[in-house]
Amino acid sequence: MIDKSIPTDLTAARHLTEEVLSLAVAAGYSEDDRFAIRLSLEEALINAIKHGNNFDRARKVRVSADVRAEQTTITVCDEGAGFNPAAVPDPTADENLEKPSGRGIMLMRAYMDEVSYNDRGNEVRMAKRRCTGLPHLAGHN
């Protein structure tokens, strides 16, 4: 379990990401699952540092990561004003293809099994269930 505040700094974010991934390796997550966790955590941290804390080094980013054999749950919280995730334009819509915003949220939703935000919009909670190989077939013993 990781529960810490990091400075509003991309290097600190990279170190934290590596720490979470080392736990995922130890828990037996596949390369594909680790890629999903890495990509989503990097996006959440970059959003918190860039958009939430506006690169303000006086602010912190609080991160918790609970890596268990069956599921990894990560929470990233910045000290910013927050935002409304529903108001972010769909980056795949024709009129938004040239806009840089919204892609990180789209990627997190695509790669994680659960993504939710607090009411204020300054905290994201993500969960990734570990892929255990062959899917369980209902009614098959």
Helix 10-26 to helix 31-47 angle (10° resolution) is 150
Q: Which domain holds residue 49?
A: 2-129
> For residue 44, which phi and psi values (nearest 5 degrees)?
-65, -40
Q: What percent of the chain has pLDDT over 70?
A: 91
Q: What is the pTM of this model?
A: 0.88
Q: Take residue 131 and report the two structure tokens written for it.
A: 């892929």
Q: How many domains does the structure of the chain reveal?
A: 1
Whether residue 138 is contained in a domain is answered as no
Dist. CA 92–CA 98, nearest whole Å: 10
Q: Report pLDDT digits (tens) over 98-114.
A: 776 778 899 999 999 99
Where residue 46 sits, what CATH number does that domain have?
3.30.565.10
